[in-house]
Amino acid sequence: MLSFNLLLTVCLIYVAGLFGVAFLAEKNAKRKKLGFFSSPVTYTLSISVYCTAWTYYGAVGSAARNGLEFITIYLGPTLVFIGWWWLLRKLVRIGNTQRITSIADLISARYGKSTTLAVIITVLSVIGSTPYIALQLQSLTLSFSVFSDGFGGQDPATASSLTALWAAVGLAAFTIIFGTRNLDSNERHHGVVSAIAVEAIVKILALIAVGIFVVWGVADGPNDIMSRIQPEIMRSQDIFTPRWVTLIFLSATAVICLPRMFQVIVVENSDEKHLSMASWAFPLYLFLMSLFVLPIAIAGLDILPAGANPDLFVLTIPLTQNQDALAMLAFLGGFSSATSMVIVAAIALSTMVSNHIVLPLWLWLTLSRSPTSEDVRTLLLRSRRISIAVILGLGFLYYQFTSGTGGLASIGLIAFLGVAQVLPALIGGLFWQSSTRKGAIWGITAGFILWAYTSFLPSFEGNFILSQSAISNGIFGLEFLIPNALFGVMIDDPLVHATVWSLGINTITFIIMSMISLPRPIEKVQASQFIHIFDQPATSTTLSRQTTSEELHILSQRILGHQITQKLFNKAARTQGKLSGQLPDPTNDFVIDLEREFAGSVGAATAHAMIGQIASGEAISVEDLIKVADETAQIMEYSARLETQSKEIEQTAEQLRQANAKLRELSEQKDAFLSQVSHELRTPMTSIRAFAEILRDEDHMGKDQISHFSSIIHDESIRLTYLLDEILDLSFLEHGKVQLKLSFTKFDKILKRAMNATQTLREQSGAEIQIPYNLKNLVIETDADRLSQVLINLISNAIKHSDADKPIIRFSLEHFEHTVQIEMTDNGKGISAENAEIIFQKFAKLSSEQGAGSAGLGLPISREIIRNLGGKLLYVGNNPGAVFNIILPHSISPLLDPAETIEPAD
Amino acid sequence: MSDLEEPSVENLTSSKTTEDKPLLAQKRNDLAALLPICGVLFFATPLISTITNDNPSGIGGTAFYIFSIWAALILAAYGLARFLRGTDTNPDEAD
């Protein structure tokens, strides 16, 4: 029998060996000669941290109790790894490009570098992992207790506690020494990874050795083993159950979502190519790990006394067969499984706690622009060391709290389900563009609460928060709140029940909240960077910040340390073509690189916040840039609209200008008209006034004189009245306000009236009017008075302006379809071209003569009358005397409003 | 208006793919998806019990079934990894 002291000595030597390996790896890493330590084999072996003491010892126990169920824990990861091309490759690529430090960091970075999300996942991970660490401590103490003969007469319970305490302290020391040497994830934990790789070899060798011993040493080959199968194991024939599928699913999820698995697969990955080897080598490792589990369980049940703990068969079979060396190897295998898990989990969790909880808190407490009181680097390392100690302390407390209860055995799967709450947000983040931060936060929170209520709290069996009665009868006695039958949903297996509820509600909440909320701009940027990671080798983020190199240098020194900062800044200075010793310019690229480097140490969210803080003031963040871009797009659209509008306005303005010009022209015409009118009025008024004054002032005037003057005044008044009548008439005609007395009239009658009116004039000048017979007989519908007025005007004009001895005026008639054209010619000299333009204007005084008694309104009035009668009065030229055409419709009645339908005369 | 927008639209929609032969890459991706689907089909569907239920050797037969499929999947994954490494044209991270 092995003595306890011997066991302890071997353990210490083993640990010293691990220290040596870790130290060697760290040393080689510094000289950049890693060789084996950074090979895909080491990477694959480090992933085997998945196989904890729970699987090392517990798999055999599970096989002894439930047959093949243990194998699901290995099948899930196998499926994930053979499908590496789809998920793991993407995760690793994102991890490398975005300098991701943990699963909380990944999800927070994906959803817009959200601190809230990072904190939630960190808390969830710590809660989910602490019992798991306790489980490892329990395994360690159990395996020590097998050799309890060597405890030296101490009380077994005290001895167990002591062992657990020392194990926790030792693990904390190892983790602190090798896990917190450096900060940048880019350097990674080579020492730790190498030590874990060695442990991976030890545990698989140990299990295979025990397996071979059992099959060919204890039994007589595989057939003998198969013949010893107990009915307990045979019982589980139909293995395809909801629990089977759930276990495969949960283990597949765990290999991605467990903080320690994320740490070794994504964070510690130094080359994407390593993954392609791990894709088959890790399943092979799992295959070998599980190959002998069933034979060991069968042999243990067969040869060991009933009631022996099947969880310890791996140790107890060699011991009972007096194979001390094999037992020692088996013990070291279990020891390796427990320690490697605890170390990696502590590193992963402490990184999360310090990056996502301690640092943001500290940043919040010291809002100053540049930290002066504390050194970020020291703070981070210190907080990580403390976190490791606290996490292991929590694990130990949890172990103390629950030791002796059977609750611990099932805690492995409960932890799996706890961390699986991250899965919807993770998968959504990698493949679904529209998933949002709100969706992730609400989904994870809802899943977390349901997991705690249906799975985690009931596992304490009434010792923690939920009482025994609350577990069996529902909280406050409400039946629909029974943790194992929520809302009356009866699922036999509590784990399946909890999985369906928590992950189902989680996923639905995640999807619904994502759909009803809008992603912030930075989320959109991060989403496309994550989802299209393979399409964009280089980052497309452009940031422009107003900060100085000195500030960046100070911050960088605080976070990354002096040496790394110096190296980074020198490299950047060289790239920018500066002399060595000069600081590089804070260009976009440089700031982005720096933020990446910081992200490797403190996580994306914090790095973003720190750079943002130092560059506050004139900082332009991606959000701002996107906002600017949005605004620019809006402005462009707006200006395009303005352009269209301004075109319209221009057109309108042109129309207005034209209208204005017309108005001005009209106004000028009106002014001219008014001045002409006043001039025309002034002349008679002046003479009236003058003669009136004479009549008033002269006392001694003869009767003749008085009569003469009075008649002048009378004549002038009549002329004035006549003029005013004409103006009024013209105004009425122009506005179409005249009342026409329409009737069918023979033209002869109209002509006679005109002849009578001009009789005196004709007789004085001896003028002759020639009227053809057909014109006399013409009958048209018209206003006879008005038409005769036109004829009078034309005839008297022709006579007055004629220079012939005997003026002759000739009329002729021509019929058209709807109109008649009456032409009037005289034998005078015609109208000069100069006068032809103005004869139709008001008050036109022909240049060559002074029309006595004429105000120059005759022709304008005539033209307006004809227009009102639905026709046209045109001057068509000289032949050689002036020729006027009067065009009139046969009938005016159909033209209801002649002023509108007939175009005004030119 | 449209003159202003056109260039930016072109930039946005310019081809993103870095693959030289998109069709080949697509087929390679499809092939990579085949393996986990086969795995789920063999391990997480009732197939696992219909094949083994009639087996008189009980749990031994089931174990044999699982381990055989498992080994086959590992071999296939090995082949796939070699094949994918040969065709992967994506630039690797310069670490």
Q: Calculate how close chain B gets to A738, using CA atoms only, in Å.
A: 56
Residue A431, pLDDT above cutoff 80 = yes
For residue A195, is it within any domain?
A: yes
Q: Which residue has the higher pLDDT, A895 or A633?
A: A633
Q: Would you say residue A678 lies in a domain?
A: yes
Cβ-based contacts of A294 with chain B (< 8 Å): 59, 63
Nearest CA in chain A to B85: A276
State the total domains in chain A.
Answer: 5
CA B17/CA A889 separation, integer angstroms: 82
State the count of interchain CB pairs (< 8 A) between A and B.
129
Residue A772 has pLDDT above 90, yes or no: no
Candidates A74, A483, A42, A432; CA nearest to A270 is A42
Residue A897 is assigned to a structural domain of this protein = yes
- Residues A244 and A123 both lie in one domain: yes
What pLDDT, on the 0 to 100 scale, is given for residue A891?
78
A65 domain-assigned:
yes
pLDDT band at A505 (very low <50, low <70, confident <90, very high): very high
Cβ atoms of A196 and A25 closer than 8 Å: no
Chain B residues within 8 A of A239 when measuring between CB atoms: 48-49, 52, 62
Rounded to a whole number, what is the distance in Å from the CA of B33 to chain A's nearest CA?
6
The neighbour count for residue A1, using CB atoms within 10 Å, is 11
CATH code, domain carrying A637: 1.10.287.130
Mean pLDDT check: name the lowest of A286-295, A683-692, A807-816, A832-841: A832-841
- Return the closest-CA partner of residue A80 out of A257, A344, A337: A257
A241 contact partners, CB below 8 Å, separation of at least 6:
A493
A816 falls in which pLDDT band (50, 70, 90)? confident
Which stretches of A67-152 are DSSP H helices?
72-82, 88-98, 103-110, 115-146
Mean pLDDT, chain A, rounded, equals 80
- Given a cut of 50, whether residue A904 has pLDDT beyond it is no
In three-state secondary structure terms, A500 is helix
Side-by-side strand order, sheet with A819-826: A768-770, A808-815, A819-826, A882-889, A872-878
Q: Which residue of A has its CA nearest to B17?
A: A535
Shortest Cα–Cα distance, A361 to chain B (Å): 32
| A713 occurs within a structural domain | yes
Asked whether residue A579 falls in the same domain as residue A488, the answer is no
Q: For residue A784, is it within any domain?
A: yes
Look at A214-228, A240-254, A483-497, A801-815 and tell me which has the smallest mean pLDDT: A483-497
Q: Could you tell me if A125 and A188 lie in one domain?
A: yes
CB-based contact A447:A505 (threshold 8 Å): yes
Instruction: Tell me, yes or no, whether A557 and A698 share the same domain.
Output: no
pLDDT at A481 over 70: yes
A contacts of B87 (beta carbons < 8 Å): none
* pLDDT exceeds cutoff 80 at A489: no
Judge residue A721's burial from the number of C-beta atoms within 10 Å of its C-beta, 0-12 exposed, 13-18 middle, 19 or more buried. exposed
A127-163 core/surface letters (b: 16 or more CB in 10 A; e: else): bbbbbbbbbbbbbbbbbbbbbeeebeeeeeeebbbeb
**What tens digit of pLDDT does each residue of A698-737 get?**
877 788 888 888 888 888 888 888 888 888 888 888 887 7
Residue A781 confidence (pLDDT): 86
In-domain check, residue A411: no
The reported pLDDT for the residue numbered A591 is 77
Q: Two tokens at A66?
A: 């439930």
Closest residue in B to A293 (Cα–Cα): B63
Cβ-Cβ contacts under 8 Å, A273 against chain B: 85, 92
A544: DSSP letter:
B
Contacts of B81 in chain A (CB under 8 A): 276-277, 279-280
Q: Give how far B56 is from chain A: nearest CA, Å.
A: 10
CA atoms within 13 Å, Cβ hemisphere of A460: 18
For residues A711 and B22, the model is more confident at A711
B61 CB neighbours in chain A (<8 A) are: none
Please report where in the chains the tokens 């302290």 appear, as a residue.
A169
**Are A222 and A329 in a shared domain?**
yes
Range scoring the smallest mean pLDDT among A41-50, A125-134, A262-271, A576-585: A576-585
Chain B environment of A83 (Cβ under 8 Å): 32-33, 35-36, 39
Of A79, A226, A636, the CB nearest to B4: A636
């808190």: which residue's tokens?
Answer: A361
Does residue A826 sit in the same domain as residue A888?
A: yes
Distance CA A183, CA A561 (A): 9
Tell me: do A514 and A582 sit in the same domain. no
Contacts of A896 (CB under 8 A, 6+ apart): none
- Which residues have C-beta within 8 Å of that of residue B41, sequence separation ≥ 6? B47
Name the residue facing B53 among A96, A238, A536 (closest C-beta). Answer: A238
Query: Across the interface, do A240 and B46 touch by the CB < 8 Å criterion?
Result: yes
Q: Which of A731, A764, A790 is the last residue of a domain?
A: A731
Split at pLDDT 50, 70, 90, the class of A211 is very high
Do A764 and A866 fall into the same domain?
Answer: yes
**All residues at 6 or more sequence positions from A213 whose CB lies less than 8 Å from its CB, including other chains:** A317, A318, A321, A323, A326
Cβ proximity of A380 and A559 under 8 Å: yes
Of A731, A758, A792, at which residue does a domain stop?
A: A731
Of A68, A78, A644, the CB nearest to B63: A68
Domain identity same for A818 and A742: yes
| Closest residue in A to B3 (Cα–Cα) | A640
What is the rounded distance in angstroms from the CA atom of residue A252 to the CA atom of residue A820? 106
pLDDT digits 0-9 by tens, A369-409? 454 444 677 777 888 888 889 999 988 888 887 765 555 55
- Judge if A575 and A465 occupy the same domain: no
A851 or A824: which carries more pLDDT confidence? Answer: A824
A880: cis peptide before it, omega within 30°?
Answer: yes
For A280-312, the three-class secondary structure string (H helix, E strand, C coil) is: HHHHHHHHHHHHCHHHHHHHHHHHCCCCCCHHH
- What is the rounded distance in angstroms from the CA atom of residue A529 to the CA atom of residue B89? 19
* Residue that is last in its domain, among A581, A599, A619: A619
Nearest to A97 among B60, B67, B93 (CB): B93
Write down the pLDDT at residue B51.
62
Cross-chain CB nearest to A248 (options B43, B78, B95) = B43
Q: How far apart are CA A536 and CA A614, in angstroms?
A: 29
Residues A311 and A453 both lie in one domain: no
Pairwise CB contact (< 8 Å): A272 & B48: no
- Listed by start position, the domains of chain B span 20-87
| Model confidence at A858: pLDDT above 90 | no
A65 CB neighbours in chain B (<8 A) are none
- Shared domain for A360 and A372, answered yes or no, is yes
Is the residue at A825 inside a domain?
A: yes
In degrees rounded to 5, what are phi and psi of residue A534? -85, -15
The parent domain of residue A634 ranges over 624-731
> Sorting pLDDT into bands at 50, 70 and 90, what band is A467?
confident
Least CB-CB distance to A532: which of B16, B43, B57?
Answer: B16
A78–chain B nearest CA distance, Å:
8
pLDDT band, very low/low/confident/very high, at A157 (cuts 50, 70, 90) = low
